[in-house]
Amino acid sequence: MKVLNQIVYYCNKVLKVLGNLVLSVIMITITAGIVSRYVFNRPFAWTEELATFMMVNLGFISAAIVTISKKHIVADFFIAKAPEKFRKAVSFFSRILQLVFFTVISFSVYKLLPMLVYKSPALGIPRSAYYIPVVAMCGVMFFVVVVDLLNDFFPGYDLIAEEERKIAEQEKEAEVQEAAEIQKSVESFLGEEPGSKP
């Protein structure tokens, strides 16, 4: 279990770096397209194609990061008020649905790939290349959800949850220290002895 969680942990780090790189390429590409069109009046033909290809990659990389960190938008108003066993059952069922969804998407793309014979006109990117991040990130998300299921049965190994808990504790300590410093400043400004009560 520890090894599986370490894989997820480092995969999250790699995906964040990769996502930042892809976003940087998108920004540079779009900027180059704007400058070439409006400054030099000689637009690059390839900027839109590359930006579109990178946007597809960024979308699915982001989906994988969100899945790893469990930051999907959820409507849990009623579930949060339900008994613990019911919440666990709903969580288990939703994860099984996720696994089915990722499997169906990957299988659909596998069946679709032989039909995609076109290439983009400027860069010659094969249409099938647009679907590589779909399958790759579905594979990552499938693995992450399986590890999450195992973590439910064997708790205590989730490195990302542990890291987030430590960050939350550090933020809370920083808030307490900041509040204490503000209190001292106010008392000093009012001419009171720090810590004294009226």
**Average model confidence (pLDDT) for the chain?**
84
Task: Specify whether 150 is located in the same domain as 197.
Answer: no
Task: Specify whether 16 is located in the same domain as 59.
Answer: yes
Helices 159-189 and 47-69 sit at what angle, rounded to 10 degrees? 90
Task: Specify whether 36 is located in the same domain as 114.
Answer: yes
Tell me the pLDDT band of 104, cut-offs 50, 70 and 90. Answer: very high
Per-residue model confidence (pLDDT) at position 196 = 54
Per-residue model confidence (pLDDT) at position 25 = 93
Q: Which residue has the higher pLDDT, 121 or 54?
A: 54
Task: Specify whether 104 is located in the same domain as 184.
Answer: no
Task: Specify whether 119 is located in the same domain as 77.
Answer: yes
For 116, counting Cβ atoms within 10 Å of its Cβ (0-12 exposed, 13-18 middle, 19+ buried), the class is: middle
Task: Specify whether 163 is located in the same domain as 190.
Answer: yes
Nearest to 160 by CA among 9, 33, 18: 9
Per-residue model confidence (pLDDT) at position 42 = 84
Amino acid letter for position 194: P
Q: 3-state DSSP call for residue 126?
A: strand
**Domain range holding 171?**
158-198
Task: Specify whether 128 is located in the same domain as 33.
Answer: yes
Residue pair 58/22 in contact (Cβ under 8 Å)? The answer is: yes
Ranked by mean pLDDT, which of 38-47, 80-89, 138-147, 156-165 comes out on top?
138-147
Q: Which residue has the higher pLDDT, 164 or 49?
A: 49
Task: Specify whether 56 is located in the same domain as 113.
Answer: yes
For the chain, what is the domain count? Answer: 2
What's the whole-model pTM score?
0.74
Ranked by mean pLDDT, which of 82-91, 92-101, 118-127, 166-175 comes out on top?
92-101
Start-to-end C-alpha separation, the chain: 56
Q: Is the pLDDT of residue 45 over 70?
A: yes
Q: 3-state DSSP call for residue 73?
A: coil
Amino acid letter for position 64: A
Task: Specify whether 116 is located in the same domain as 48.
Answer: yes
pLDDT tens-digit profile of 2-38?
Answer: 778 788 888 889 999 999 999 999 999 999 988 988 8
Q: Is the pLDDT of residue 134 over 80?
A: yes
Task: Specify whether 23 is located in the same domain as 114.
Answer: yes
Per-residue model confidence (pLDDT) at position 85 = 83
Task: Specify whether 54 is located in the same domain as 149.
Answer: yes
Tell me the pLDDT band of 105, cut-offs 50, 70 and 90. Answer: very high
Per-residue model confidence (pLDDT) at position 192 = 60
pLDDT tens-digit profile of 142-192?
Answer: 999 998 888 877 776 676 777 777 888 888 888 888 888 888 888 887 776
Task: Specify whether 122 is located in the same domain as 173.
Answer: no
Residue pair 19/140 in contact (Cβ under 8 Å)? The answer is: no
